[in-house]
A and B are shown apart, each in its own frame.
Chain A
Amino acid sequence: MRVATVDALAGYRRLIQRRMVAVALLAIAILFAFSLDLATGPSGLTLAESLRALISGGDGQAALIVREVRLPIAVTAVLVGAALSLAGAEMQTVLNNPLASPFTLGISSAATFGAALAFVLQLSIPGVPENWVVPANAFVFALGAVLLLQLAAGLRGAGKETLVLFGIALFFTFNAFVAILQFIASEQALQQLVFWTMGSLARATWEKIAILAVVLAVVVPFSLAAAWRMTALRLGEDKARSFGIDVARLRFASLLRISLLTATAVAFVGTIAFVGLVGPHIARLIVGEDHRFYLPASLLSGALIMSLASVASKAIVPGVLIPVGLVTALIGVPFFVILILTRRTGE
């Protein structure tokens, strides 16, 4: 028994070390993807030229392209991917459903509806500056959708299946609302809206990056601080309660974080499919369900996927920036199908 005990402790230590290495490797992979992103674009600047232009500064054309186009896109890709994937990871845990994500449960659709209200009917929250109307609307509706989900989660007897169905209902309801608005929209508004729903990094600005970064900087520490409690919740609600965890409060705080992350990301770049679903699954495959590693790994996986998607969106058709939302869906769908086909029953 003693020997087994010593072995187990050493084994656990190795497990932890492996996970740390995996998280570090993910971070390094992001650096590569980020560099690739900086080196890709219609202007044909190489990575070396881009970096040189960035470091030397000045107002040359190369410096301008890198500073105002490539760098904001590359940074936004990483931040948005991180935010959506972390949101998806938390959501899969608090809803105890591996298929939950901001997209599949209708939160992105709600955000789209908010944006559509601004594009088509010019409806907005009073006092919001004009160039922030769309993000503000998207944010408010995404938050509202999360609160609705929270309400459903609190309903007595609402099992996993009920929640998924509720999320799907939200998804279709908001999509229907959006379709109605599209139907009555002017040509110009329709164009804006359609482009918005495709999700594009071309909307990246340093202002938006700053806000995204602040949201992440505020949310991530709370998220990580809840890591042990979230792991406990993974064991089941009863288990978490038996440890003295206030499950309702934990879930509400998490849904609040989810709505902040999702709403901000979607508000700035539009609908980005599947990152919030796929990122957490990749993380789970790599580091398992200990949320001390699962949450950071999800964040990093999402950032990596988005960064690669950003590269792809520029590289698939040279000279054309394909909306990144289309690319993530193309990458995400095959993964999603494989996931469903290989998911063990009874889980």
Chain B
Amino acid sequence: MSPTLQVNTLSAGYRRRKVIDKLTLAPIPAGTVTALVGPNGAGKSTLLRALAGFVPAKGALRFGDRDLLRETAARRAQTVGLMPQSAFAGVTLTVLETVIVALKTAPAGGPSDLDIRQRALDALARVGIADLALQPVNELSGGQRQLANLAQTIARGQEIILLDEPTSALDLRLQMVVMKLVAEIAAEGRMVVVVLHDLNLALQWADRLIVLGSKGLRIEGPPREAITPELLAEVYGVRGRIEACSRGIPRLLIDAAIDEAGA
């Protein structure tokens, strides 16, 4: 059986502010897409960064029988790959080089230079930007940069992929391209945890949903069960409906923000 990621009474945050407080989640299975959603400031990015070891964390974080919190950054990065929100500001390396760097700095050392170049190009081809391989990354559009960022993250083939808002800078088509890719990666048996703001994307693509509210975990489970009008009101402060579209797919419709009087 493939290992699961277990989060138990995990606390994480910054010196003056604990963002994640004793969070316990159901084991996250490999081969699934888990969407991490919630309003701004709920701690989605912090949780992701804690899982990757970017912010100090206490509690228990295990992958199979491995205690991730006790492992070195290098060891953990062999298993966990995080795609940060923004990347490549002012970087004049070519797109291909940014992926080669990711592969060359892999702790295992690994394959020959020629293999690495080919693997880097394969990763670019996979996100559909092989033709941009020799473009300086700072000359790309925001969306292309996001794709390069994604290619770099998936290139190393880690078992756990953490994506922080991978669709935020993307147009409608690229959002679909990226989410399809996310589903494919999961289908390979890898685990994907992805922060999303668009709940419709979560409804459409995620196997599981983790909803963080202002007081920590609000609910987790299959997206269609987790997202309810009550949840929308409580966590997001909006009045919304979930309705099946003409093809029977549930769609989220937001009607209004609930004002402070609760009207």
Contact = CB atoms under 8 A, between A and B. Distances in A.
A11 B101 contact: no
Interface in A179-233: 228-229, 231-232
Contacts of A11: 133-134
Interface in B49-101: 52-54, 72-78, 81-84, 86-94, 96-98, 101
A244 B78 contact: yes
Interface stretch (B5-13, B27-35, B102-110, B229-237): B102-110
B105 A244 contact: yes
Interface in A235-249: 235-236, 238-246
Interface of A: 1, 4-5, 8-9, 11-12, 15, 156, 228-229, 231-232, 234-236, 238-246, 284, 288-290, 346-347
B153 interface: yes
Interface string B127-146: 00011011000100000000
B106 A9 contact: no
Interface of B: 14-15, 52-54, 72-78, 81-84, 86-94, 96-98, 101-102, 104-107, 117-118, 121, 124-125, 130-131, 133-134, 138, 152-153, 156
B90 A232 contact: no
Contacts, number: 112
Q: Kindly list the 10 A-B residue pairs having the minimum CB-CB distance in the complex, ordered from nearest.
A: A244-B77, A347-B90, A8-B133, A238-B84, A244-B74, A243-B105, A228-B104, A242-B82, A11-B134, A4-B131
Contact of B90 (A8, A246, A346): A346
Contact of B133 (A12, A228, A245): A12
B134 A244 contact: no
16 contacts: A4-B125, A12-B134, A228-B101, A232-B105, A235-B91, A235-B101, A236-B89, A239-B84, A241-B73, A243-B77, A243-B156, A244-B77, A244-B107, A246-B72, A289-B91, A347-B89
Contacts of B130: 1, 4-5, 8
Contacts of A288: 92-93
A239 B87 contact: yes
B93 A235 contact: yes
B14 A156 contact: yes
Contacts of A289: 91-93
Contacts of A15: 94, 134
Given A12-B133, A15-B94, A347-B90, A231 B84 contact: no
Contacts of B52: 241-242
Contacts of A4: 125, 130-131, 133
Contacts of A235: 87-88, 91, 93, 98, 101
A289 B92 CA distance: 7
B54 A12 contact: no
Q: Which of B52, B98, B124, B134 has the most CB of A within 10 A?
A: B134
Given A12-B117, A156-B15, A239-B84, A346 B89 contact: yes
Contacts of B54: 238, 241-242
A11 B107 CA distance: 27
Given A8-B96, A242-B153, A244-B73, A1 B84 contact: no
A35 B86 CA distance: 49
A11 B105 CA distance: 22
Contacts of A1: 125, 130
Given A231-B93, A241-B77, 10 more contacts: A4-B133, A12-B134, A231-B97, A235-B98, A239-B87, A241-B73, A244-B105, A246-B73, A288-B93, A347-B138
A1 B122 CA distance: 10
Contact of B101 (A9, A156, A232, A244): A232
A243 B83 CA distance: 10
A290 B96 CA distance: 11
A289 B100 CA distance: 13
Nearest to A8: B133
A294 B74 CA distance: 25
A287 to B, nearest CB: 11
Contacts of A246: 72-74
A156 B93 CA distance: 28
A209 to B, nearest CB: 35
A133 B220 CA distance: 68
A5 B138 CA distance: 21
Contact of A290 (B83, B97, B105, B121): B97
Contacts of B83: 242
A15 B133 CA distance: 12
A232 B104 CA distance: 9
